[in-house]
Amino acid sequence: MNILLKTLCGFAYVTMAVSVPGKAQAEPQASHVEACMPCHGEDGIAPASDVPNLAGQNERYLFNQMMAFKSGKRPHKEMRYMARYLSKSDIEALAAYYAALPPR
Amino acid sequence: MNILLKTLCGFAYVTMAVSVPGKAQAEPQASHVEACMPCHGEDGIAPASDVPNLAGQNERYLFNQMMAFKSGKRPHKEMRYMARYLSKSDIEALAAYYAALPPR
């Protein structure tokens, strides 16, 4: 019983650490993260000062901006192109991934 | 002579720490920083997840985005309003200020 309780608590802890409240959060596809890297850095810290760091940025902000790039609401030729074939759940996964990375 | 050298080195260090290479960087006006606070936090860490953290963000990116809000190139009603009466040098000072704050 004690072991079961510990296992359940451990599971709850891990689930809380990686998920958005109320829903399961998938890892982003490796190819999607790789597509971000040249401009936003391997670890979400951009090598150029005119490109934003993504590491530790707020998750909902990242999600909203990617959706806005995809729709063209936030105009940005390259980012619109990058977001074009990403689904809403792909973007959710990317936003959660970068929000969870440690900031500079 | 030794004291003079130390003083000069100390001055150079402080100057390097707060300035953009090649030009003097003014502190932002307190009223300008106060205007950012309600949404972006006292320390550049936004209290809401749909608002970006500014602390530690890349300086040129912050400058470019504020100029884009001001011109309407990046559409955002509230941010356009906020940037409306800020000069280029006001925006330079704000960008340098938030870029230098420690990220979360």
Which parts of chain B fold into alpha helices (H)?
A: 2-18, 30-40, 59-71, 77-83, 88-100
pLDDT per residue over A63-94, tens digit each?
A: 999 999 999 999 999 999 999 999 999 999 99
User: Based on C-alpha coordinates, what's the Rg of chain A?
Assistant: 16
| DSSP code of residue B27 | P
Is B58 in CB contact (< 8 Å) with chain A?
A: yes
Q: Which residues of B fall within a CB distance of 8 Å from A74?
A: 74-75
| Chain-chain contact of A61 with B74 (C-beta, under 8 angstroms) | no
State the greatest distance between any 2 C-alpha atoms of chain A, in Å, as a whole number: 57
With an 8 Å Cβ cutoff, are B52 and A73 in contact? no
Q: How far is B6 from chain A (nearest CA, A)?
A: 31
Whether the model clears a pTM of 0.90, i.e. scores above it, the answer is no
Is B64 in CB contact (< 8 Å) with chain A? yes
For residues B59 and B95, the answer to whether their CB atoms sit within 8 Å is yes
Which candidate, A87, A94, A37, places its Cα nearest to that of A63? A94
What residues contact B7, with CB distance under 8 A and at least 6 apart?
none
Of A49, A57, A64, the CB nearest to B60: A49
pLDDT digit string (tens) for chain B, length 104 residues = 445 444 444 444 444 444 444 455 689 999 999 999 999 999 999 999 999 999 999 999 999 999 999 999 999 999 999 999 999 999 999 999 999 999 98
Q: Cβ contact (<8 Å) for A53 and B49? A: no
Residues from chain A that touch B49, judged by Cβ atoms under 8 A, are 58-61
